[in-house]
A and B are shown apart, each in its own frame.
Chain A
Amino acid sequence: GQQVMQIPQYQHVQEGEDFTTYCNSSTTLSNIQWYKQRPGGHPVFLIQLVKSGEVKKQKRLTFQFGEAKKNSSLHITATQTTDVGTYFCAGPFAGNEKLTFGTGTRLTIIP
């Protein structure tokens, strides 16, 4: 079936190091959204990418959408303790209205 996988599942980094999570879909996505979920919290929208090859930046966060619209990445530069949480990608498969969430990458920061 259609699924969205993320790697790695877990990532532990020293504060100040960079972090990247990769999102791979089994089929083409209409767009890709990224959400952050703090421990014990609910998903919070970060950004949406729509165009093939699109790159967007939010301060220390850089988001990319692949040329084939089947993969995406989130890169955080110089992580801070406030970056702790699980990062999910999510997207509607082409022709579908509902969001399918990825498996998530849980980021922990070692101070």
Chain B
Amino acid sequence: GAGVSQSPRYKVAKRGQDVALRCDPISGHVSLFWYQQALGQGPEFLTYFQNEAQLDKSGLPSDRFFAERPEGSVSTLKIQRTQQEDSAVYLCASSLLGTGYRVASYEQYFGPGTRLTVT
């Protein structure tokens, strides 16, 4: 079946613009994660959903970052008033299991990422 898809794959934004990044998880996957990966670094956790509930947003760098998953499937990461330090690859990952399980204990399937460049 299809894997995790993300769009757009590349986004160039001028400083101060708002951007919206989309993630389509694997069908039926309960958990969805967003990560930020700077060049040469490992992915850094941003936020996590179980179905439509955002259970952890402790990794969001500032209140300019907002994520939603209104119907428990597709998710959108929005960045308002982009800054140069927001330039990175934004990765989405989904995992099959959810409520009642230690979701971090199951493999995550990553999408190809969106490379955001803020000029």
Which interface class (under 10, 10 to 19, 20 to 34, 35 or more) fits A? 20 to 34
Q: Does B70 contact A (CB under 8 A)?
A: no
Residue of A88, A97, A103 touching B104 (CB-CB under 8 A)? A97
Q: Is the CB of B41 within 8 A of A104?
A: yes
Chain B residues near A66 (CB, 8 Å)? none
Q: Does A78 contact B (CB under 8 A)?
A: no
Q: Is the CB of A33 within 8 A of B113?
A: no
User: Would you give the 0/1 interface string for A70-90, flagging 1 where the beta carbon is closer than 8 Å to chain B?
Assistant: 000000000000000000101
Chain B contacts to A: CB under 8 angstroms:
33, 35, 41-45, 48, 55-56, 58-59, 91, 93, 102-113
Chain A contacts to B: CB under 8 angstroms:
30-31, 33, 41-45, 48, 50, 88, 90-92, 96-104
